[in-house]
Structure 1
């Protein structure tokens, strides 16, 4: 006896199941891949925006760096010489010249150089000078105008006390100290740094 022909509805149901099965199998991995790609794209866009922000700031940063270099005067800060002794002598000469021009007297000037690496050295100078108040003020301004620059680390000003009058009779202004308009001597103590660039010599 011949087998019965399959029912049309049963065959249609099997066909529909076969058509629906492949999307079910690959749909979930496809969605995951799309989500990962979208996440990577967002991260790359964030990086691109950050790079664009840095590029937009480059000109401003360059301008600020140029202004800072001009204000600090790094190109006028370094002293060039054959060795540390030559740079030290040059700096001492500039200091003495500026103080002399301002009208103060140098009482002491000592210098020492720090051990450094490469071609750069720092030389520290200690200065003691004396003059009236106007001369001392002019001296600080004169030192600030020296080029290459002198870095004033500390400035101390001391007004010398008037000597007490001796016992017994005294005559004239000796009993009352300096006459009006006569300035008492002022002591100026300075700590100064200079920088040597030995490679440029």
Structure 2
């Protein structure tokens, strides 16, 4: 039985195109802030931190055995507010993402392909193997959560709230669906208390980043 994916792993999989293995769209600061938020949500769910829109308290520094989560916890151990922690982790996006990609590759959930664009520029893609449904199922679960009126699992609500707060949803899901299900998306994003607080902080930072260019 495969191990359940963490929220950071799901964010990384969501931001990779299912067909090409390239990053989806022009994410700007969205990808980094979404990953930072996912790391903090997972740490909160694991009982390592307590956080809301402003405050951050480290409850335990005991390692979880996950290199990305343990690295994130070590980075924010001396930070006292959630926005500061999110900004710090977003700045470390490249290193944290590389750690998660390596783990997903080790689990057989991604396949690294190195090539060149125009025979000159090096390019690395991360393909989702056809014989492993888990990588594509992340996006499928988000679609089902929005299309149906069922109450989703808490992790789906958290993931959707993060993607909504950073304006990633239009890159991940059909525009027509999002247009007719706006109320449903807003409802799901507010289901979890952790989502309401931390996703708001992520959204605040995203808005500031976009205004500052």
Tell me the TM-score normalised to structure 2 length. Answer: 0.18
More strand by share: 1
More helix by share: 2
Task: Tell which structure's C-alpha radius of gyration is larger.
Answer: 1
Tell me the TM-score normalised to structure 1 length. Answer: 0.19
